[in-house]
Amino acid sequence: MAGGRGRLHKPTGAATSATPKRTTRRGAASQDATWVPDVFHDLLSEATSSKAAGPEEDRKPLKKRKTALSTRPIPAKPADGRHPATSSKATPPRTLAEDAFVSSDKEDDEGSDARPIQTIIDSDESDESDLEWEDALGEGDIDEDENAGDEEEAELSDLSITIAGDKGKEKETTKKVRRRGITSVDKKRRLDIHKMHVLCLLYHVHRRNAWCNDGRVQAGLRKLPPPKILSNLVPNPEFNQYQASKRFIDGMNELKIMWGNKFKVTALGIHKPRWHDVDAEAQAFTDFDDLDIPMDRQDFRKAASSLQGSQDIGAQLFCALLRAIGVEARLVCSLQVLPFASAAQASTPSKPSSEKSTIHLDPYNNIEAPSPSKPKPKPPARPKRLSRLEKIMGERNLALSSGVAPRQKKKYHTAYPVYWVEALNPAHQKWVPIDPHSTFTVDKSDKLEPPLNSAQNSLVYAVAFEDDSVAKDVTRRYAKAYNAKTRKFRVECAEGGVKWWRRALKVFRRGAPLDRDQVEDAALARKEAAEGIPKNVQDFKDHPVYVLERHIKHNEVIHPLHQVGKVNVSSAMNPKMEPIYRRGDVHVVRSADKWYRLGRDVKAGEQPLKYAKPKKNARRSLPPDADVDMDEQEEVGAGLYAPFQTELYVAPPVIRGRVPRNAFGNLDLYVPSMVPPGGVHVPHKLASKAARIVGVDYADAVTGFSFKGRHGTAVVQGVVVAQEYKEAVEAALDAMEHAQVEAENAARTAEALRLWRKFYLGLKIAQRVNAIEIEGEKGPQINVHEELERQDKLMTEQQMAGGFFPDEGTVTEPPSRAREHYETSTYDEDDGGGFLPDLEDDDNQETRKLGLIRQDSEHFGSTLLSQQQLRPRQEEEQSGGFTTEDDGEDAGGFIREPSPPPHQDDMQGGFVQTDAAADDFAGGYESYAGQYCGGRTE
């Protein structure tokens, strides 16, 4: 992408846009905000909503217009006087067009607009996935091979000739290198990028189409056609339909010729992008000089007045011209989208990297530098042929062109259009394609599709935009083999692709279809139907209408085995016929068991349409006799049934509160529909307990299986009870939940108190231990007093910051209390007597722990500090503190069995003054205390 940007900023020879960059940025940003979430939906809603913001947006462009006006002597002066809205053909339902028109003024520059994306680096194709692949392949040997392969590969690309000592080895290595698995992740990513690209292109066309409504553009163009042509286009009521139609076509031809003479093609337009080859060199910037510059509306106007630009621009302006003179015109674009299928497919035609790169560099100039006399060895043959084909095609079409003198600017001529125009023939209400630049044809829809192998242009999505931004997919009008070929390059072929495409175009759909829409739909449908049955096996693959038996999956059958098309050749002169069936007759099949899992039951008396393949049992006798195989197959294969052989499974009903069960005492509830009549599913974890408490009959609901390892265990989710008990059970559940919450709260409180006690004890013990002299030396001491001071301070700070201690007094209480003890300096048995007696064990533990701490008081301090960062309020951290801290057994016991209240009693006297205070602590402080006490064990 970075490359792309760099490219964009590269100044190109022709008219450079005077657009200040910040405008770009601002525009893009504002667009982004609404654009991101759901690309298309938002695109539209933004467009519609921006209407409201219209005036404000209009302001900005004004400035721009001024400068533009002052610098350019535009012939659009009269138009300028008018308000844009009035000058543009002001179609009543111009929601989209107008909005885009308005808003596009604001975000003038548009990177993707004129400059096609050339190459996209498929980063995934690089080392990472390769490495993975190689690793997966695995043993150490491969590494060597890999390297060798790389070397040779490099040599190959550099010198074109490699003299390797061992041919066999070379082959092997290259194979290994070549063989690069395309992961499913990779595929998905490609598809996503493809989709994104489609959306971007759609938007691009949408904007260009909106520009075609530009008042000034139209005003300038309107003056071009001589009155004679125009008068021919005025419908004559005396003509019959045929005459009128002919007149219209003729008029279009004249306009096309006129346009061809006026408009000068000076740049290259969009062409088909390719996935970047990992080992291909980066393209030189100069390679892009011939391309269209990125455009904003001003540039577009400029192009309209100077009548220069790429063929794309030419077609767009031609569209504007038609609209300007009152002809209903569509801007059609064949989206040149990055293919998703296989990267290799695109690059296959051009094999050797050297040659590839040349093609790469000059995507459009093959005509200029064709290959007829190129003294290159075999490898270049492929691309050469292509280009030559291109050339031939181009020339032929040139020859076909009716009376247009081909422009001398042949360099920029492409054989097939990316943009063209459809004009509505009022006589038939039919759309007439006009391609004024590439094929120079009018009403020749079958001439616009480039050959399928063309590297520069492929017709995959042809989308036609009307002046009110209603857009329609008209690919089928132009594709010769839509079902057999074109479709395979479209999202429709991917899973959910049909829906996706429909959704992508939804924003451009017309609210209420017009007559001409229906006419067109019918025509397109007819065209598709007329496509006929493919003649080769390849085209049957993924064909939406026909199927070959060899292509159906293992879980599919062709049920009514209707040979719709009887013939199909396998090889030419010795034909092997294969029957053809309808895709509609293909059904997925499943075993009876699988159907049951889906809540369906095989109807009585239905015979399996197919039998599953026998599982590969361990027996692998080398000479598998035919009969043995047959036997095995018949034995092992499970019967498979199609959906229409099944019916909704109805469980045996609940009778008098008695819930039916399966052999395991459960009830199968794989789908909601499997709830037995008269029963209710209560999907609560504790439902079984509740039902037991209530005392009604219930059955555990098995909603699936979890396969861990090879052992599948039933997943139970709640229970099924009779309908009439539902409320009772739910009430019981409520009560249980309530009780549980209470219990948890109590447990939490108890735990908090327990930890406090521990903490306090710890301090006390520390104090005592510090007082002991060992052989006259005091050794490093924990300065309890200081620690407490510090801690107190920290807590106060935290309280300021977080504010989760409601009462300051409460907060400071424990430390101050402890200080008291410290200050007394004597360890009074009676004082501690309140809680010490039943805590002998703890006492020992504490002592040990403190011993540890004493050895690195540094750590002690840092522990305190780090604890400060914990946010006690957060549940996770609390529980984390509990589970990871001290004994560990505590953690488990805590939830189930709250620690007994006696502790609390113990504490009440000396430590915490009120219950309320304790509660406050429970939430805020426990984890702190917990960490403090427990953290040191580590």
Partner DNA sequence: CGACTCATTA
Partner DNA sequence: AATACAATGAGTCG
User: Does the protein bind DNA through residue 284 (CB under 7 A)?
Assistant: no
User: Does the protein bind DNA through residue 188 (CB under 7 A)?
Assistant: no
Cβ(353)–Cβ(347) below 8 Å: no
Min dist. Cβ of residue 410 to DNA (A): 20
Q: Pick the binder of DNA from 180, 222, 503, 726 (CB under 7 A).
A: 180
CA 674, CA 694: separation in Å to the nearest integer?
24
Min dist. Cβ of residue 61 to DNA (A): 47
Q: Pick the binder of DNA from 9, 77, 178, 793 (CB under 7 A).
A: 178
User: Does the protein bind DNA through residue 261 (CB under 7 A)?
Assistant: no
Q: Pick the binder of DNA from 163, 573, 618, 622 (CB under 7 A).
A: 573
Element holding 308 (H helix, E strand) = strand 308-310
Stretches 382-390, 503-511, 595-603, 749-757: which one binds DNA (CB under 7 A)?
A: 382-390
Min dist. Cβ of residue 478 to DNA (A): 18
Min dist. Cβ of residue 347 to DNA (A): 8
DSSP code for 288: G
User: Does the protein bind DNA through residue 351 (CB under 7 A)?
Assistant: yes
User: Does the protein bind DNA through residue 348 (CB under 7 A)?
Assistant: yes
Stretches 200-208, 345-353, 465-473, 813-821: which one binds DNA (CB under 7 A)?
A: 345-353
User: Does the protein bind DNA through residue 179 (CB under 7 A)?
Assistant: yes
**What character string, x for contact with DNA (CB under 7 A) and - otherwise, covers 449-478?**
--xxx-------------------------
Enter the tokens of residue 672: 């909601």
User: Does the protein bind DNA through residue 570 (CB under 7 A)?
Assistant: yes
Strands (E), 562-671: 580-582, 586-588, 590-591, 600-602, 610-611, 639-641, 646-648, 666-668
Cβ(701)–Cβ(718) below 8 Å: yes
Which one, 111 or 349, has the nearer CB to DNA?
349
Stretches 2-10, 530-538, 586-594, 690-698: which one binds DNA (CB under 7 A)?
A: 530-538
Enter the tokens of residue 874: 């957060």
Q: Pick the binder of DNA from 164, 361, 537, 839 (CB under 7 A).
A: 537
- Find, among 839, 841, 848, 822, the residue nearest to 936 by Cα: 848
Enter the tokens of residue 655: 């009778």
DSSP per residue over 361-406, as a string? H-TTTTTTS--TT----STTHHHHHHHHHHHHHHHHHHHHSSSPPP
Stretches 62-70, 335-343, 490-498, 929-937: which one binds DNA (CB under 7 A)?
A: 335-343
Which one, 387 or 810, has the nearer CB to DNA?
387
Total site size for DNA, rule CB under 7 A: 30
Q: Pick the binder of DNA from 553, 656, 710, 711 (CB under 7 A).
A: 553
Enter the tokens of residue 881: 């503190």
Alpha-helix runs per DSSP H in 507-606: 515-529, 537-540, 592-597
User: Does the protein bind DNA through residue 711 (CB under 7 A)?
Assistant: no
CA 847, CA 541: separation in Å to the nearest integer?
78
Cβ(102)–Cβ(209) below 8 Å: no
Enter the tokens of residue 40: 């298309």
Q: What is the 3-state secondary structure (H, E, C) of 453-466?
A: CCCCCCCCEEEEEC
User: Does the protein bind DNA through residue 554 (CB under 7 A)?
Assistant: yes
Which one, 618 or 663, has the nearer CB to DNA?
618
User: Does the protein bind DNA through residue 869 (CB under 7 A)?
Assistant: no
Q: Pick the binder of DNA from 228, 616, 619, 620 (CB under 7 A).
A: 616
Using CB under 7 A, which residues numbered 749 to 808 contact DNA? Answer: none
Between helix 784-802 and helix 857-868 the angle, nearest 10°, is 10
CA 254, CA 854: separation in Å to the nearest integer?
100
For the chain, the C-alpha Rg in angstroms (whole number) is 40
| DSSP-assigned beta bridge partners for residue 330 | 422
Stretches 176-184, 302-310, 354-362, 462-470: which one binds DNA (CB under 7 A)?
A: 176-184
Using CB under 7 A, which residues numbered 81 to 100 contact DNA? Answer: none
Which one, 261 or 345, has the nearer CB to DNA?
345
The b-or-e profile of 562-579 (16+ CB within 10 A means b, else e) is: eeebeebeeeeeeeeebb
Q: Pick the binder of DNA from 240, 286, 571, 607 (CB under 7 A).
A: 571
Which one, 300 or 416, has the nearer CB to DNA?
416
Which sign, positive or negative, has the C-alpha torsion 369, 373, 377, 383? positive
Enter the tokens of residue 752: 């908090």
Residues of the shown chain interacting with DNA in the complex, contacts defined by CB under 7 A: 178-180, 182, 341-345, 348, 351, 381, 385-386, 388-389, 451-453, 536-539, 553-554, 570-573, 616
